[in-house]
Amino acid sequence: MSFASKLFGSMKPHALNKEGYPAYTRPVEEQYLQMLLTNTMHNTFYADQQELLDHAAELHQQMALEQPEFMAKALVYARGEGFMRLQPLFGLAVLSGTRPDLFAKVFMKVVQIPSDLSDFLTILQGLGRGEGGRAVKRQVNLFLSGISEYWALKYNGRGRGYSLGDAIATAHPKPTDLKQQALFRYLRGQEANLMLLPQVEAMEKLKQAVTAEEQIEWIERGKLPYSAVTGAIKPSREVWKAILYQMPTFALLRHLNALQRSGILDDQRNLDYVVKRIVDRQGLRKARILPFRFATAFRQVQQPELRDALREAVDLTFDNLPDMEGRTAIFLDISGSMQGDYLEIGSIFALALYKKTQGKSLFWLFDTEVADAKPSRRDSILGQAERIQARGGTDTGAPVRKLLEQHIKVDQVIIITDEQQNSGSPFYQQLKLYRKKVNPDVKAFVVDIAPYRHAMVPEQDDQTYYVYGWSDTVLSYIAQSVQGYSSMTKQLADMEI
């Protein structure tokens, strides 16, 4: 075999995608990062829940055995920057069985709130690991030592799987004072001195309250978290009004429909308050909400003021991203397999990118054909995303082929897709032709928003970057990479934990 054959033989597609079309296999580190940042284990167009779960388990086990240090960093990144929960917790449970030292190092960065702890322990049991051993108990003890009354009420988890009481029974933490002793006893369902726990006492009184006035009195006296209140009683309009003013930003977003149905937003003062919270730049940054959550709320509400606020909120979410230098071609896959969340996420990302190019870009939609999306820098991202609809098959090479035919020179190509080519010419084939005939230095970014394992581009191409995930971190990475940053996996490998 000649040197050229050895060097370039692996550049040929050596796998098939979900449509049976030739594809590539990316390095396991990229497969793992992709899975962590896009696999929520809900059914997708091509894979059901069990297939996604099996795929995740296989990758977690492989990484724990072969690259545990990279795995630990990826879990922290996915939880902290990718805003994902279940997959990082799954990986943490696997890591605890192979590298307890690394597990201990990242535990508190992945398990951030009590519901994380409950899910982590549930996963451990599902893996047949029982209580997880000494290393797990030590970390669980450390976490439980920081449990507050507020957390105990908001996240006790009773009736929804592994509760905080179950965690206490498992780890046997030693209380540091009488108040913590009372709190642990309460969480385990044992008799406790509630005089030491004023918030807990208020919650128990709320459950016994008969009138709305009594309920509101205990809610306000105990400063009870909205989730505990809605779990304990069925809120009336008056109660919704009482808890409205202490709901976190994400909770407001999730409950907009319920608040609207309750009628309390018919009061202009309440509506003004909600709108102000939704468009608060600092509050949005602190809440770290995935952009598609705004789109979900946007579909559910009808009040014009709320819809305008949600439009503004999405624009604010991306407002702090750096501008994109050079001329950019943005291609959004609108094929049938993108229907639903993928197209919603992809549309928001594409429009946010378009706005950050300061008009020095083109934005095309493609299935087996290519169409100009006719974007506007002035119209809202959500308003424009709402108009983009899925259709047809997938020809990932079509938009690059159009660039080539029209001899349009761009500095970077960004394609947002689930990568399930089923017709036409492959993206990478057309990209190589474009580099040969138009611009040899063009950078390409493949934004993969699906958990499928096969890829459109071989790993040997150092001018093409794979980007995974659903948070605005995706767009930050692209903007940085345009300025010369390394690959996503390289940045992660260099990260300190």
Of the chain, the end-to-end C-alpha distance in Å amounts to 44
In the three-class reduction of DSSP (H, G, I as helix; E, B as strand; rest coil), residue 404 is classed as: helix
Q: What's the token pair of residue 394?
A: 């997938």
Which pLDDT score is estimated for 226? Answer: 84
Mapping DSSP to helix (H, G, I), strand (E, B) and coil, where does residue 395 land? coil
Q: Are 446 and 466 in contact (CB under 8 A)?
A: yes
- CATH of region 328-493, choose from 3.40.930.10, 3.40.50.300, 3.40.50.410, 3.90.700.10: 3.40.50.410
Structural contact between residues 79 and 112, judged by C-beta atoms closer than 8 angstroms: yes
Using CA atoms, how far residue 329 sits from 205, 349, 377, 467, 477, in Å, is 60, 13, 15, 16, 17
What are the C-alpha distances in Å from 407 to residues 3, 333, 413? 34, 22, 14
In order of 59, 114, 173, 177, 187, the CA distances from 196 in angstroms are 47, 21, 19, 11, 14
Query: Could you give the CA distance from residue 228 to residue 153 in angstroms, rounded to a whole number?
Result: 6
Q: Say what the pLDDT of residue 290 is.
A: 78
Structure tokens at 29: 């580190």
Bridge partners, 417 (sequence order): 448
pLDDT at 480: 66
157-195: string of b/e by CB count within 10 Å (b at 16+)?
A: beeeebbbbbbbebbebeeeeeebebbbbbbeeeebebe
Residue 330 phi, psi dihedral angles, 5° rounding? -110, 120
The C-alpha atoms of residue 238 and residue 236 are separated, in whole angstroms, by 5
Cα 240 from Cα 29, distance rounded (Å)? 46
pTM of the model: 0.73
CA R_g for the chain:
25
Q: Could you read off the pLDDT tens digit of each residue along the chain, which spans 497 residues?
A: 433 233 223 334 455 555 555 555 667 888 888 788 776 544 443 344 676 677 788 889 999 999 999 999 999 998 988 878 889 999 999 999 999 999 999 999 999 999 899 889 988 988 888 878 889 999 999 999 999 998 888 887 655 567 889 889 888 899 999 999 999 999 999 999 999 999 999 999 999 998 999 999 999 999 888 888 888 888 888 888 888 988 889 889 988 998 898 889 999 999 999 999 999 998 888 887 877 789 889 989 989 999 999 999 999 888 767 777 789 999 999 999 888 888 988 899 899 889 888 878 999 999 999 999 999 988 999 999 999 999 988 898 999 999 999 999 999 999 998 766 556 678 888 999 999 999 999 999 888 776 655 666 666 677 888 777 766 677 777 776 666 556 677 777 778 88
Residue 485: predicted pLDDT: 56
Residue that is written with structure tokens 């009372």 in the block: 182
pLDDT tens digits for range 55-107: 788 889 999 999 999 999 999 998 988 878 889 999 999 999 999 999 999 99
| Rounded Cα distance, 149 and 277, in Å | 26
Cα(367)–Cα(385) distance, rounded to whole angstroms? Answer: 17
CB 452 within 8 A of CB 47: yes
- Say how far apart CA 35 and CA 468 lie, in whole Å: 9
Reduced to 3 states (helix: H, G, I; strand: E, B; else coil), residue 25 is strand
State residue 2's pLDDT score: 35
